[in-house]
Amino acid sequence: MKTYLITGGAGFIGSNFIRYVLEKYGDGVKVVNVDALTYAGNLKSLQEVENSPSYNFMHANICDRAEMRDLFKRVKPDYVVNFAAESHVDRSIETPAVFEETNVGGTISLLDAFRAVWEREDGVYPNDVRFLQVGTDEVYGSLPLDDPGAFFREDTPLCPHSPYSASKASADMFVRAYGDTYGMPINITRCSNNYGPYQFPEKLIPLMINNALHRKQLPVYGDGLNVRDWLYVGDHCKAIDLVLRKGRPGEVYNIGGHNERSNIDVVKTIVAEVRRWTADDAIGDSLITYVADRKGHDRRYGIAPDKIEAELGWHPETSFAEGIVKTIRWYLDNRAWVEDVTSGAYQSYYQDMYGRR
C-alpha cells in the first residue's frame, strides 16, 4: 500500500492527478492532499473523490515548516508530489515575493520534512520512497521562432525570464541539491503548458473558452505569435506517476506534447469549436482583441521529451484536436464550477488586468 502526499491537490493539475491515481489504484493506495486553498485551489474540483476512504484532505500551508514536519511524521508518505505553487506568470510580474515564499520556501520546507522522516542515521534512504518536484519548461527560458529544430533538453542551461520561472528554477536547484547533498531520492519533471478540465480561467485556454461562451472580448498578448507546446493534463498525470514509480532517482525528465502552436492559432481554434458546440453565430474572430504584450514575454517554448519516451515508454496520447474538444465540452457542462471560482476576488483581478471588456 503506497501513500501519496500531494501538495496543491486542489489546483488544476493536482486535482487531475488525485483523480488519476485513485481511479488507477483504487483502495490500493492512500492519498493525502495538502493545500492552502489560495484563489487557485478549490475543493469542488475533488467532489468525485472526497468520500473515498483512500482520500484525505489537510488544509495547510507548505511554508509552515513545523506543520509539515508533524504531518510527514504522521503520514510517512512513500511518494511526495509537490504541485503546490503560485503558478501564474502575470501575477508573478505584479507580486514576485509571494512566488519566492511559496515556490522556493515552501519547497525547502517539504524537502526538510521528507528528510526528517526518511533519512537514516547512516544517510541512506529506503529505496522505494520518492520526492517529485513538478516543474515547468519555462525555467529554460525562450527559444527563437526562426529555429524550429531547437528544443529544450534536460541539460539545457536554466535561464528563467519571469519571476514565476525564476522561482521554479530556484526550487528545482534546491531539489537537485538535496539529492546531491543528502542522497535524497528525488526527481524533477519539467512539463510544457497543460490544458484540460478544472483549470482556473486566468490561464489562456480556459480564459478564452469562458470569455467566448460569454461573448466577451478575447485578449491576446502582443502579435499573438508566441508559441507554446500544449499537453493534455491527463497525459501529464500519467507521466508523473511513471516517473515516481519507474524513474531513476536524481533524474530530470522533460514532458511535452509534440504540439507547438501560436497563441493566436489556439484562440482561433477555441473560437471555432465554441461556436460549433454552442451553435452561437455571435461567437467569432471579431471578439479577438490584441492587447499590450506581457512584460518579458518568452517567444517560444519547445520541449524534447525524448528521455521519458525512451526510458519509460511514455508518450502523449491525446491529440490537440481531441483534447481541446474534451476541454470545451467540460467547460460547457460545468458552468457552475466556473461561476464559483471566478466570483469574488477574481473579478477585481480581471478588471485590473484587462479592464472592463
Q: Taking CB under 6 A as the rule, does residue 243 contact ligand NAD?
A: no
Cβ-based nearer residue to ligand NAD, 36 or 227: 36
If one asks whether residue 92 binds ligand NAD (CB under 6 A), the answer comes out as: no
Q: Which is nearer to ligand NAD, 202 or 273 (CB)?
A: 202
The nearer residue to ligand NAD, 194 or 211, going by C-beta atoms, is 194
Sequence-ordered strand ranges (E) for the chain: 2-7, 29-35, 55-59, 79-82, 130-136, 186-191, 193-195, 218-221, 227-232, 252-255, 260-262, 288-291
Are residues 312 and 247 in contact, defined by beta-carbon separation less than 8 angstroms? yes
Check residue 303 for interaction with ligand NAD (CB under 6 A).
no
- The answer to whether 108 and 64 are in contact (CB under 8 A) is no
Task: Output 81 or 287, the one with its CB closest to ligand NAD.
Answer: 81
**Which of positions 187-206 make contact with ligand NAD (CB under 6 A)?**
191, 193-194, 200
Q: Cell numbers for 21, please give them.
A: 491515481
Distance CA 190, CA 174 (A): 15
Binding track, positions 244-273, relative to ligand NAD; x by CB under 6 A: ------------------------------
Q: Which CB sits closer to ligand NAD, 14 or 185?
A: 14
Which of the residues are catalytic? 137-138, 164
Is position 10 an interface residue for ligand NAD (rule: CB under 6 A)?
yes
For ligand NAD, the binding residue among 4, 5, 6, 8 (CB under 6 A) is: 8
Q: In sequence order, what DSSP letters do the residues of 33-66 get, joined into one string?
A: EEE---TT--GGGGTTTTT-TTEEEEE--TT-HH
Instruction: Show the cell assigned to 134.
Output: 513538478
The number of beta carbons lying within 10 Å of the beta carbon of residue 210 is 18
Closest of 211, 199, 330 to residue 282, by C-alpha: 211
Which residues ranging from 145 to 184 are in contact with ligand NAD (CB under 6 A)? 168
Binding mask 15-54 for ligand NAD (x = CB under 6 A): --------------------xxxx-xx-------------
Q: Is 187 helix (H, G, I), strand (E, B) or coil?
A: strand
User: Of residues 98-127, which lie at the interface with ligand NAD (CB under 6 A)?
Assistant: 102, 106
| Least CB distance to ligand NAD at residue 161 (A) | 15
Which residue's CB is nearer to ligand NAD, number 83 or number 320?
83
In this structure, are residues 102 and 86 in contact, taking their beta carbons and an 8 Å threshold?
A: yes
Q: CA geometry: angle at 338 spanning 336 and 340, to 5°? A: 70
Per CB under 6 A, 327 contacts ligand NAD: no
Q: Which residue in 83, 70, 80 sits closest to 38, CA to CA?
A: 83
What cell does 39 get?
484563489
Binding site for ligand NAD (CB under 6 A): 7-8, 10-14, 35-38, 40-41, 61-63, 83-87, 102, 106, 134, 136, 168, 191, 193-194, 200
